[in-house]
Chain A
Amino acid sequence: MFSDTILLAHGSGGRMTHDLIGEVFHRHLGNSLLAAQDDAAVWVLSSPGPERIALTTDSYVVSPIFFPGGDIGRLAVCGTVNDLAMVGATPLYLTAGFILEEGLPRADLERVVASMAAAGRQAGVKIVAGDTKVVERGGADLMFITTAGVGEVPKGVCISGANVQPGDVAILSGPVGVHGLAVMSRREGLEFSFPLQSDCAPLNGLVSEMLKAGGPIHCLRDPTRGGLATTLNEIAGQSRVEIEIDEVCIPVSEEVRAACEMLGLDPLYVANEGKLVAFVAPDAERPVLEAMRRQRYGQQAAVIGRVTCAHPGRVVMKTLFGAHRILDMLTGEQLPRIC
């Protein structure tokens, strides 16, 4: 039975659920593991088997579900792929749970699932299990997606937020702040005269080249909610080190700077979905930076600071004019100024 909108019956588990699964999910995401249609996906481990497996999950509730440069589906794939990549894992398989609001246009669901398929192909991962529930109108905001991901951690790779050492160099993969602004501008109906496209992207390809560059990578983290400043604080706390960054070195695009100035926001606290910050030993700085710059998502990579043991848990920024100030975690929401 074909319907233009999602009905409660699509989540009933009966005929309409099956039709929806076939016509939307299998059609776009089709792969042999999904096609088996068993209660769980089963696969054979690579041989010889990996030493360690990485597992992660994340929920996506972004509003609006379509925004410049991406949509909730691309975000749900890239976000989970990136979480795996940030521990150095090679992402393999994802699961996806959908909570749909009654009345969601079916075309929107198709567009999101097709976008997940495209992001999956780009990242080289398969979506091998899923679930769909439909809640009554008002019970959700169009669509929520939860993805889980599993990946293999190559031998010898040991990446953690707790591994950063005094002397390490902090490298940022590119300009910050664009995702948060792209979503906010669409949500609030703010029109800028320049394009603001989300940076939403899978970073596993970039990470794999960084790992090949040689030299120890101690920590990788993608600065999503809370932005770069919050991520640096998390790492400084986890590794009990001080991170000193240089404001002049942090790449921020003209567009993001201009939009932030207008809205009274600080780009260092605005969310990213396709950036990472890496902490590497000093002698790995050059090879890793060069490897990053050869990659699409690392072309504008830059060294932004260094790690010391001065005040563990603290992030200090040298401002444009050489003054020093503490860079704190984000508290609450960033709010526009009123006067």
Chain B
Amino acid sequence: MKYVDEYRSPESIGRLLALIGRRSRNPVRLMEFCGGHTHAIFRFGLRQLLPPTVSLLAGPGCPVCVTSQPDLDRAIALSRVRGITLTTFGDMLRVPGSTGTLQEARAEGADVRVVYSTLDALSIARDNADREIVFLAVGFETTAPSVAAAVLTAEDEGLKNFSILSLHKLTPPAMRAILDAGEVALSGILGPGHVTTIVGSDAWDFLSREYGMPCAVAGFEPLDILMGVYALVDGIESGSSEVVNAYRRNVRREGNLQARQAIDRVFCVRATEWRGLGTLPASGLFLRDAFCGFDAASRFPVRVEPAEEPKGCLCGDVLRGRAQPPDCPLFGRTCSPQHPIGPCMVSGEGACAAHIRYREG
């Protein structure tokens, strides 16, 4: 398979691992920001192959996982409003809110539909003029452009029964929050490849400038990830904290300008609440006033009770890198992929799901 096989070649992987082994002298602790990285690292067993001096730590880069409990409850409450069809990506269905899951709401009669893209939600709106179609928009900068494009299309078409509940978040503020908290000692950051394709590698310059923290932006194939790790180890050993773009076939310094413009046109940036990280300034994407007709939050106000996170669940600590999934007293006992208690066990990008699904044999 072209564009994949060359990044999974055992010979190239072997050579790169040897290179990392030779270059790495001092112990380093690297955080992979993105849940996509965490899953690839576990799926290919990369942790076992790296030299003992290099340890990898999962970060907060799982959009489903960082969705706050009140936001989750709001989405579930919205799905129960008569006349509303709630559309969303599959992962969201099984995440437990304090009043159940979207899956349970569906079983009780709510119209909840899984879509593969925002455009599917638009088609549902076109085909069901008598219903209000709400798209539950969860994601980072990667999915925000397609949501923006859907809103712009809906506006062009004069589609009145389409709206979004925007829970979109920006990644640099989360990285900043983790470094500011200083709870975990980190030597470098493996930057998120897909997010950076949109925002550009310049978006991570503050890591070096303000924190002296090396960052390497990496893709998601094993060779990509190891190239990122090598760049970090090499930088740390030589005392450099520059941002390295180890995903050159996709990432440019300025990112994808067209996508960034679409985000800017449709969304404004405000403070928002993250699971595990609290309320972070300038970290949430909300619809601009010009698009308020597409804002499900203002069009269909629902009341949700203040909610606490599940008792004993360490998802918040896991998202900050403070705890590893097996440190959680619920992990593998009461919380499992069959009966998830926290979101990190549900999502295809959650660290707990990666740990349990691909645990070492």
Interface positions of A (Cβ within 8 A of B):
188, 190, 254, 257-258, 261, 264, 314, 316-317, 319-326, 328, 331-333, 335-339
Contact = CB atoms under 8 A, between A and B. Distances in A.
A229 B116 CA distance: 25
B158 to A, nearest CB: 25
Contact of A338 (B4, B14, B94, B138): B138
The 8 A-B residue pairs whose C-beta atoms are closest, nearest first, are: A323-B45, A335-B90, A316-B361, A331-B337, A338-B89, A324-B361, A323-B48, A319-B45
B194 A325 contact: no
Interface stretch (B79-87, B139-147, B252-260): B139-147
B360 interface: yes
A138 to B, nearest CB: 15
20 contacts: A261-B4, A320-B10, A320-B44, A321-B44, A321-B49, A322-B45, A323-B45, A324-B360, A325-B42, A325-B43, A325-B358, A325-B359, A326-B359, A335-B114, A337-B349, A338-B64, A338-B143, A339-B63, A339-B140, A339-B349
Nearest to A252: B1
A257 B1 contact: yes
Contact of B44 (A316, A319, A326): A319
A339 B139 contact: yes
A258 B14 CA distance: 24
Nearest to A260: B1
B44 A264 contact: no
Contact of B49 (A258, A323, A335): A323
B357 interface: yes
Interface string B327-361: 00000000011100000000011000000111111
Contacts of B35: 339
Contacts of B338: 331-332
Given A258-B1, A323-B44, A323-B45, A339 B361 contact: no
Nearest to B46: A323
B290 to A, nearest CB: 26
Nearest to B39: A337
Contact of A325 (B45, B91, B195, B336): B45
Contacts of A325: 42-43, 45, 358-361
Nearest to B347: A338
Contacts of B214: none
B59 interface: no
Contacts of A332: 94, 337-338
Residue picked from B45, B114, B195, B357, most chain A C-beta under 10 Å: B45
Contacts of A261: 1, 4
Contacts of A254: 1
A265 to B, nearest CB: 10
Interface in B41-69: 42-49, 63-64
Contacts, number: 95
Q: Chain B: interface residue count, which band? A: 35 or more
A338 B222 contact: no
B321 interface: no
Interface in B127-158: 138-140, 142-143
A258 B5 CA distance: 11
Given A324-B48, A325-B359, A325-B361, A264 B42 contact: no
A233 to B, nearest CB: 13
Nearest to A258: B1
Contacts of B10: 320-322
B30 interface: no
Nearest to A248: B10
Nearest to A331: B337
B359 A321 contact: no
Contacts of A336: 89-90, 116, 348
Contact of B361 (A190, A326, A331): A326
Given A335-B90, A336-B90, A321 B143 contact: no
Nearest to B338: A331
B36 interface: yes
B8 interface: yes
B33 to A, nearest CB: 12
A314 B359 CA distance: 12
B90 A333 contact: yes
Nearest to B48: A323
Contacts of B42: 325
A321 B13 contact: yes
A339 B194 contact: yes
A328 B354 CA distance: 12
Given A320-B10, A325-B358, A337 B36 contact: yes
Given A261-B4, A335-B90, A335-B91, A321 B63 contact: no
A339 B67 CA distance: 14
Given A317-B361, A325-B358, A338 B63 contact: yes
Contact of A321 (B36, B91, B140, B222): B222
Contacts of B90: 333, 335-336, 338
Contacts of B116: 188, 190, 336
Nearest to A257: B1
A337 B346 CA distance: 12
A320 B11 CA distance: 10
Contacts of A338: 63-64, 89-91, 138-139, 143, 348-349
A260 to B, nearest CB: 10
A95 B44 CA distance: 46
A333 to B, nearest CB: 7
A144 B112 CA distance: 25
Nearest to A328: B357
A302 B186 CA distance: 45
A323 B14 CA distance: 12
